[in-house]
Amino acid sequence: MHETGSCVPSGGGDSWWRSAAIYQLYVRSFADGNGDGVGDLAGVRSCLAYLADLGVDAIWFNPWYPSPMSDAGYDISDYRGIEPVFGTLADADALISEAHAMGIRIIIDVVPNHASDQHPWFTAALAAGPGSAERDRFWFRPGRGPTGDEPPNNWQSIFGGPAWTRVTEPDGSPGEWYLHLFAPQQPDYNWGNADVRHEFEDVLRFWFGRGVDGIRIDSGALLTKDPRLPDVGLDEPPGPGHPFTDRDDVHDVYRSWRAVADEYPGRVLIGEIWLPDAARLARYVTAGELHTVFNFPYLSCPWDAAALRRVIEETLALNEPAGAPATWVLSNHDVDRIVSRYGRADTAFDLLRRRYFHNFPVDLALGTKRARAAALLTMALPGSVYIYQGEELGLWEVQDIPDDLRQDPIWRRTHGADPGRDGSRVPLPWSGTEPPFGFSPPGAVREPWLPQPKEWRDLTVEAESASDDSMLRLYRDALGIRRASAALGDGPMTWLPVADGGVLAFDRVPSAPGTSGGDADGGVRCVANLSASPVELPPHAAVLLTSGPLADDGLLPPDTTAWLSV
Ligand code: GLC
């Protein structure tokens, strides 16, 4: 038995993750316990009851490890500790136990593609010099050209600029270059090196042993590289021949990780795998590899019935052969907040086009209405669902952060052409009518690390808890019904015929009779109207929940979703 400390929640058994509602918690911006303007674990512990009330089954924490914070913690200098600004390992242990006692499971983020340039392995590699065993854990290569002052190949950083940085050797001479697919402060590991493989298996055991229930694997398709490091065509799609994306040998890594996870009952591995090709994506959830992968096609999909239906069908088809549950994600810390995205003329999300989107006008009322409808659609689909903190409050993308306060390396590395991701990471508003809206305690010595819009006074947890028609109330009600119903979460779904192509309608019927005796026990019929006109509700016994008021004649208005009992 590997468990230390906390009792594990029993809800959902070992397969809890197949139906779970998972709250993505961005520690920096959730709640500040000590008044330094940055969220921390003390803040999280004081707000666990909020998450229990909201009705989530698990929390996924963005990286909480010691980090120089060149990429908000995705540059880790110690995989077995807690960032001092966030707290201590003892705080994490206490948090895990307290969450478990409330029936909430804990998922953490592991970043295996790259280290921090302050990680002891990397500083040792710099000191040890060319050809050393220390350098072999990363990708060091001589430069090209007569003096070696050109990068070893043409790869570009995902954050902008070249993917190589030249080092100064211990003797002071200009030296080798190292690979970083993200910022220069994030050197890529060499997964061909046995130390790297052993180290990460040990890191998994370290956290599973502390009671962590799941691992979100950062940049999961990028780990392995073609050791010849060939140039790559700028438009070359990912695939088996690609030198650093979705290579076949990355699956060896996940087979070994799965063997580690299987030593601990009820643990889950979740891949952050951005791939356009559904068939390639499906390979990550085949037997003996990851349990689930994030649904980025759904997250990127425009607010359009035909496009959504296509993505939903493709998602189910992708997961079905492996018997893996689908995941449904509307937003996260890397993408524009959903309320803003749905309030623009172009409602799709595209990482590469973010720089243009931010110049488009946003209709917040329309975006909010659609986000409410999308929330009910999403929570009715079969599988697990992710809620990015603040989504339950209807927060919008903050597009007017002053340049000198922006923190995202994407902003700097593209020289401001891409606004980056800070706008989705602004600290949560909890209470009161003025910033910091209860994010920091009274008498805090610093302002929140990113400024909060003053209009968020209407979107605080306090204000929304007092209102019957707030986004928060909708999320609480929906999650409550979803948890009580044997029909929702994992299981089958059946499309209903619709007269209007702008409508999505489907049934969720329990495979086994429910035990809760709730209204939704016979099944839930979900109808989302994405068309421009009101539509009739299909036959039903009762209306369980709607994302907005029905019309006086009982019709379902545009951009509205209803859950019906059948
Ligand atoms: C993932 C993370 C993102 C981070 C990047 C590099 O995409 O979600 O926030 O910047 O990996 O680690």
Q: Is residue 187 part of a domain?
A: no
pLDDT of residue 238: 84
Specify whether 299 is located in the same domain as 275.
yes
- Say how many Å lie between the CA of residue 74 and the centre of ligand 1: 6
Distances (CA, A) of 297 to 237, 320, 392: 16, 16, 21
* 146-152: Cβ within 8 A, 24+ apart: 147/174, 148/174, 149/174, 151/177, 152/177, 152/179, 152/229
User: Encoding tokens for residue 1?
Assistant: 């038995």
What is the distance in A from the centroid of ligand 1 to the CA of 117? 16
Q: What domain range includes position 153?
A: 120-179
User: Which residues form the pocket of ligand 1, taking CB atoms under 6 Å from any ligand atom?
Assistant: 71, 74, 111, 182, 218-219, 272, 333-334
My answer on whether 106 and 128 are in the same domain is no
The CATH number covering residue 538 comes to 2.60.40.1180
99 and 145 fall within a common domain:
no
Residue 185 belongs to a domain: no
Q: Do 61 and 209 reside in the same domain of the chain?
A: yes
Instruction: Determine, yes or no, domain membership for 476.
Output: no
The answer to whether residues 50 and 169 belong to one domain is no
Helix (H, G, I), strand (E, B) or coil at 188: strand
Residue 98 appears among annotated catalytic residues: no
The CA-atom distances, in angstroms, between 453 and each of 107, 119, 367, 423 are 30, 36, 17, 11
Nearest CA to ligand 1 atom 9: 334
Annotated active-site residue in 263, 313, 346, 350: 263
On whether residue 472 sits in a domain, the answer given is no
Give the C-alpha separation, 91 to 188, whole Å.
30
**DSSP 8-state class, residue 506:** E
- CB half-sphere exposure, 458, CA atoms < 13 A: 6
Low-confidence ranges of the chain (pLDDT < 70): 1-8, 512-520
Nearest CA to ligand 1 atom 12: 74
How far is the centre of ligand 1, averaged over its atoms, from the C-alpha of 519 (Å)?
A: 41
Q: How remote is the CA of residue 478 from the centroid of ligand 1, in Å?
A: 30
Shared domain check, 174 and 36:
no
Distance 88 CA to ligand 1 centre (A): 23
Same domain, 50 and 101: yes
The residue whose CA is least distant from atom 6 of ligand 1 is: 74
A 10 A CB-CB count for 361 gives 7
Which CATH number characterizes residue 90's domain?
3.20.20.80
150 Rama sector, left if φ>0, alpha if ψ -120 to 50, beta otherwise: beta
Cβ atoms within 10 A of the Cβ of 263, count? 12
Task: Output the pLDDT for position 512.
Answer: 66
Point out the ligand 1 atom lying closest to the alpha carbon of residue 114. 12
Which among 28, 61, 71, 79 is the best mutation to test ligand 1's pocket, defined by most ligand atoms within 8 Å of the CB?
Answer: 71
In this prediction, residue 359 carries a pLDDT of 81
219 CA to middle of ligand 1, Å?
6
Distance CA 511, CA 24 (A): 29
Q: Are residues 127 and 39 in the same domain?
A: no
Question: Could you tell me which of 322, 311, 313, 312 has the C-alpha nearest to residue 283?
Answer: 322
Q: Is 218 a catalytic residue?
A: yes
Q: Are residues 343 and 245 in the same domain?
A: yes
Dist CA 471 CA 196 (whole Å):
44
Q: What is the pLDDT of residue 8?
A: 66
- Residues 499, 533 within the same domain: yes
Domain-located, residue 190? no
**Probe target for ligand 1 pocket from 182, 185, 349, with the most ligand atoms within 8 Å of CB:** 182
pLDDT for the residue numbered 517: 53
3 state SS of 166: strand
Instruction: Give residue 468's pLDDT.
Output: 96
Give DSSP secondary structure letters for 237-291.
Answer: PSSTT-SSSS-TTHHHHHHHHHHHHTTSTT-EEEE----S-HHHHHGGGSTTS-S
What is the distance in A from the centroid of ligand 1 to the CA of 492? Answer: 33
Residues 233 and 86 in one domain: yes
Of all protein residues, whose CA lies closest to atom 4 belonging to ligand 1?
Answer: 74
In a domain, 485, yes or no: no
379 CA distance to ligand 1 middle (Å)? 25
* Catalytic, out of 91, 176, 218, 464: 218
Whether residue 429 lies inside any domain: the answer is yes
Nearest-atom index, ligand 1, CA of 332: 8
Residue 274 CA: nearest ligand 1 atom is: 7
Q: How many CA atoms lie within 13 A of 487 on its CB side?
A: 22
Pairwise CA distance, residues 106 & 97, whole Å: 10
* Close Cβ partners of 169 (under 8 Å, ≥ 6 residues apart): 129, 130, 175, 176
Does residue 289 sit in the same domain as residue 438?
Answer: yes
Element (H, E) at 546: strand 542-546
Measuring CA to CA, which residue among 205, 138, 125 is closest to residue 170?
125
**Domains contained in the chain, number:** 3
Mutate which of 219, 296, 388, 408 for ligand 1? The one with the most ligand atoms within 8 Å of its CB, which is 219
Q: How far is CA 57 from CA 5, 308, 480, in A?
A: 20, 26, 11
Is position 487 within any domain?
no
Q: How far apart are CA 124 and CA 121, in angstroms?
A: 5
Can you give the CATH number for the domain in which 169 is found? 3.90.400.10
